[in-house]
Amino acid sequence: MMDISESKRLAERSARVMPGGVNSPVRAFNAVGGTPRYIKKAEGRYLYDEDNNKYIDYIGSWGPMILGHNDKRVVSAVKKRIESGMSFGASTRLETDMAELICSLVPCVEMIRMVNSGTEAVMSAVRTARGFTGRDKVIKFEGCYHGHADTMLIKAGSGAMTSGVPNSLGVPSGCVSDTLLAVYNDVKSVEDLFKVYKDQIACVIVEPVAANMGVVLPEDNFLQSLRRLCDENGALLIFDEVITGFRLGIAGASGYFGIKPDLVTYGKIIGGGMPVGAYGGRRDVMSVVSPLGGVYQAGTLSGNPVAMQAGIAQLEILRDNPDIYDNINALGEYFRRGIEDIIERYSAPCTVNGIGSLLTLFFTSEKVRDYNTAALSDTAIFADYFNFMLDRGNYFGASQFEAVFVSSAHTREDIDKTLSDMEDYFKVR
């Protein structure tokens, strides 16, 4: 067993001064038990905790570290930028450089606005859709997590799903009265809402690949049908690509699936590890945003020069080295196939979903295609598995309903080691 005495001491200190001892709920390990590991440094594909234990990291800061931790090219760019100042509250060349870069990479993005988080990006995109259409109602899908804005906390995924409380206290009923719930991968559920609320729906927002109820892939024609229904009903289609943006490929999920949403939200990878978010899309839609139009949105640290520099450096590396995607997608496929072999060999009541460098092992034998089938997972067994793997030096998200992220710093040897540990688990369980 690992020595985690320092992490235990820090957990006790943290609990006295922060709710649950954390600044984001899933870090508390409430869903899996045990003691959260307090990380002091990272390098490449490894994390090191305060007790000097080493872990193969399959979280990557929940997605941003697609190049691995402390990529020297990104770090060098950030260090150089900091020497000129960390924040100005004024326009900078880097904001324009970042906007031009994203617009050049993603065909559906003609104008873009930088913000500070994925939550803020989604909140602003939905407001923009409402302002552009003059309508109030929004369709979201059960199990898709779009941040913690009031209007989106209905049957959300991520930590809200893990805790068994998909709705949040403190959200007035009026805030969610215009949020309509559909079933992921069920086109008819969307069609029915458009019929009932004809000419009232401003937008449909969706994770093109759901990654907050675990990884759930869109079935054939699902995304295409959403595009068609929005066009037929005068609504906007919003892709929440906070996770999939620049993860599936250099043009994100919209490029991967060949579908053009009207608006798209970004975060994580575009910050290179720094706090950042963005929303963008069609020029006519984005032109309703202040100061061009009447949709107000502002942020003191939006377009922060350090965050912009980190994101530009990372995006340029991804753009100029397309083999990175070939590598991480191949590693993701190798990982999935290895898990499938273990499931078959030990007749484990599990299934694995994945696409590119994203995957989730679900502790249910049912095919996972939506919120309800994901919720069939045995979270108690997952907790046992999680702690076994953590003690073997494999760092996963402390929730059944999170994704595994493969980075370009990972190797087949890393994955072979993790698969071997996984096999040991199923041998004795």
235 vs 417: CA distance, rounded Å: 48
Overall number of domains in the chain? 2
At a CB cut-off of 8 Å and minimum separation 6, what does 332 contact?
A: 354, 355, 356, 357, 358, 359, 406
Alpha helix segments (H runs only) across 56-202: 72-82, 93-105, 118-133, 158-162, 173-176, 187-196
Q: Residue 94 is part of a domain; what is its CATH number?
A: 3.40.640.10
Q: What is the pTM of this model?
A: 0.95
Residue 210 and residue 338 in one domain? no
- Its sign, for the CA torsion 192, 195, 200, 201, is positive
- Can you tell me whether residue 295 is helix, strand or coil? strand
Domain boundary among 289, 320, 351: 320
Residue 101 and residue 44 in one domain? no
Per-10-residue mean pLDDT of the chain, 429 residues long, equals 96 96 93 96 98 98 97 97 95 98 98 97 97 97 88 61 54 81 97 97 98 97 98 98 97 97 98 96 98 96 97 98 98 98 97 98 98 97 98 97 98 98 94
* pLDDT of amino acid 165: 43
Pairing of strands 358-362, 201-206: unpaired
- Interaxial angle between packed helices 305-320 and 93-105, expressed in degrees from 0 to 180 and rounded to the nearest 10: 30
Domain boundary among 284, 301, 320: 320
Residue 122 and residue 262 in one domain? yes
Q: Residue 397 is part of a domain; what is its CATH number?
A: 3.90.1150.10
Structure token digits, residue 159: 């930590």
* pLDDT of amino acid 220: 96
340 vs 353: CA distance, rounded Å: 10
Residue 304 and residue 326 in one domain? no
The answer to whether the bond into 291 is cis (omega within 30° of 0) is yes
Tokens 């003691």 locate to 35
359 vs 361: CA distance, rounded Å: 7
Q: What are the catalytic residues?
A: 145, 240, 268
* pLDDT of amino acid 166: 47
Domain boundary among 320, 344, 366: 320
* pLDDT of amino acid 156: 55
Contact of 120 with 279, CB cutoff 8 Å: no
Residues spanned by the domain of 360? 5-70+322-428
Residue type at position 335 = F
Residue 221 and residue 315 in one domain? yes
Give exposure, 397-417, as e/b (b: 16+ Cβ within 10 Å).
Answer: bbbbbbbbbbbbbbeeebbee
Pairing of strands 201-206, 351-355: unpaired
Residue 51 and residue 109 in one domain? no
